[in-house]
Amino acid sequence: MNRRLFLQYSGVALSGVFATAHAKKVAAKARAVKLTAGFTSTKIVGPDFPATDVWGFNGLIPGTPIRISRGQSLDVTVANALNVPTSVHWHGIRLPNAMDGVAGLTQAAIQPGELFRYQFTPPDSGTYWYHSHVNAHEQVGRGLYGPLIIEEAAPPMVDRDLIWMIDDWRLRDDAAIIEDFESGHDRSHAGRIGNVPTVNGRFRDIVKVRTGERIRLRLINASNARNFSLSFGDVTPTVIAIDGQAVRPFASDKPVIVGAAGRVDLILDMIGDPDSVAPVIDNFYRNSFDLAKFVYEKTPLRESVLETPIDLAPAEIPEPDLTGALEKEVTIAGGAMGGLRRAKLDGEWMGLREIARKGYVWALNDVVGNKLDMPPLIDVKRGTSIRLTIHNKTAFPHPMHLHGHHMKMFSINEQALPEPRWVDSPLVMPDQTVELAFVADNPGEWLFHCHALEHHAAGLGALVRIV
C-alpha cells in the first residue's frame, strides 16, 4: 500500500479504567482553565476585508490553547455567554463518560448564563482538540473549537512546536458567514465545504522559518467536513503520530491527508534556501489552493538538519484480543447517489422520501441515528474486545469518530496495513471497507458518528453501550 493511502485511511485518513497507566506517572498540579463560549469577531480574510462575526472560546479563533503534561489533571470551567445552549467535547480523549461533553447523553446542555465544570486526567499524550457538541454543525462551523495538547515525558528535540488548526469557512464577499447551516444539499452530499480555508483562523497565513530549522507541526482538522491533502514543496514531512498516537516515523513524498476531525503530527526539516518561499498546497478536491506559505528568513539557523531521534513512546492502550473478539459489521448507507431505499426511523421502517422529509438521509445498518436514547448499535460488557468492520456504501467520505476510545486499524479492503495503528476518527472513503478493533473498557454510553457534521445531523450516528 502506498503512503498516501496509509495516511488517508489511518484517520488523517478515565476513571478506574486507566488506574494502572496513571500509577506510572507522578501527578502534576491540576491545570485550571476558564473557557467562555461567546460572540466575537475576527479578521479571517485579511486586513483589507471586514471582520467576520464568529463564535469563539475566550474571544479567540481557535479558542485558548490548552497544554498540559501527561498525567496532569484538567479542571475546566465552561461559561456560556451565547444565547443558545452549548457543551464541550474533548475529542480523542479517553475520559470518564460524564465528562465527554455530549449534551443530552452525558450531561445536560450548558444553558445561556450557566457554567459547567469538566474534571478529568487524560491518560495519553498527543494532539487533541475540544469543540462544541450542541448543534455542532453550526457551532463548530461558527468557530467553537480549540487545541488540546498533552505533552510527552520525552518529546523529540525540535526548534519549534507549532499547532495548525486547519479549517474552512463559508463566507460572503463581505466576509460575513453564509447562514445556511441547515442546507439540505450539505446534509445529503459532502457536508459543509467552505470557500475560505484557514490556518488558525487566518486565510493564506504566512509562517516565517529559517533554513535548517526543525519544526514539529501538529495538524488538527477542525473543519465541518472538508478533508485536506497537503503538500509541502521541497520539504518531505515525516509522520510521527496519527490521531494523537505514536507511529513508527516515516517520511512520505505523497500528500498528507487529514480527514475532518483527524490529527497528524509531522516533523519538518526546513531545507529551503534563505529568502525563498514555499507554499503549503491542498489538493484533496478538484481545485488546489495555497493553504499557507513558509517564508524563509535571510539568516539560516544551521547548515544541516538535525540528526536527533524523533520517535515517540508507543501508545499505552489495551490491545484487543482478536481471537475472541465480538465481530460487528457496520454499513454506512444513504446520501445523494446512494442506494438507501428504506430505513428505520424511531423504530419504524420508512421509505427514503419520507425519511428525507424529516431531515434525515443517512443510516448505519439501516437505522437512522436521530436520537440519543435510541437502542445501541453495540451493547457489551466492559472489557469485551470488539472487531469492527465498517463498509462505506455511499458516494462520499466519512470520518467515523468513536467517543471515549481509540481503535486499532488493521486493514483496508482486506489489505493489511504495514503496521496497525491507533485511530479515533478514521476516514472511510467511498466503496471502502475498513477493519478495526478495540477493547470496550470505558463504561457508559458513547457516540459513534460521522464527523462530517452535517452527516451526523442527518442521521449518521449511533450509540455504543458498555456496562
> Looking at residue 183, which CATH number applies to its domain?
2.60.40.420
Q: How far apart are CA 274 and CA 256, in angstroms?
A: 25
pLDDT for 141-196, tens place per residue?
999 999 999 999 999 999 999 999 999 999 999 999 999 999 999 999 999 999 99
**Lowest mean pLDDT across 20-29, 120-129, 173-182, 391-400:** 20-29
Q: How far apart are CA 214 and CA 232, in angstroms?
A: 14
**Residue 190 belongs to a domain:** yes
- Number of Cβ within 10 Å of residue 275's Cβ equals 11
**Residue 261 belongs to a domain:** yes
Angle 108-366-331 (CA atoms, 0-180°, nearest 5)?
95
In this model, does residue 16 exceed pLDDT 70? no
- For residue 125, give the nearest of 25, 250, 219 by alpha carbon: 25
Q: Are strands 256-258 and 228-231 parallel, antiparallel or unpaired?
A: antiparallel
**Residue 165 belongs to a domain:** yes
**Residue 239 belongs to a domain:** yes
Q: Is 158 left (phi over 0), alpha (psi -120 to 50) or beta?
A: beta
Q: Using pLDDT thresholds of 50, 70 and 90, give the confidence band for residue 346.
A: very high
**Quick one: pLDDT at residue 202?**
97
**Quick one: pLDDT at residue 252?**
84
Going across the sheet that includes 289-296, the strands are: 205-209, 289-296, 277-282, 228-231, 256-258
**Residue 197 belongs to a domain:** yes
Q: How far apart are CA 98 and CA 119, in angstroms?
A: 10
Q: Domain containing 272: what range? A: 160-296
Per-position DSSP letters for 135-165, written without gaps between them: SHHHHTTTT-EEEEEEE-SSPPP-SEEEEEE
Contacts of 209 (CB under 8 A, 6+ apart): 215, 270, 272, 294, 295, 296, 297
In this model, does residue 342 exceed pLDDT 50? yes
Which alpha helices (DSSP H) does 182-296 contain, by range? 184-188
- For residue 249, give the nearest of 419, 19, 64 by alpha carbon: 419
Mean pLDDT, the chain, whole residue set: 94
Contacts of 373 (CB under 8 A, 6+ apart): none
pLDDT for 359-373, tens place per residue?
999 999 999 999 999
**Residue 214 belongs to a domain:** yes
**Residue 259 belongs to a domain:** yes
Total number of domains constituting the chain: 1
**Residue 320 belongs to a domain:** no
Cell (9 digits) for 96: 470518564
Going across the sheet that includes 88-91, the strands are: 66-69, 145-151, 126-132, 88-91
The gap from C-alpha 115 to its chain's centroid, in whole angstroms, comes to 25
Across 54-77, b (16+ Cβ under 10 Å) vs e yields bbbbeebbbbbebebbbbbbbebe
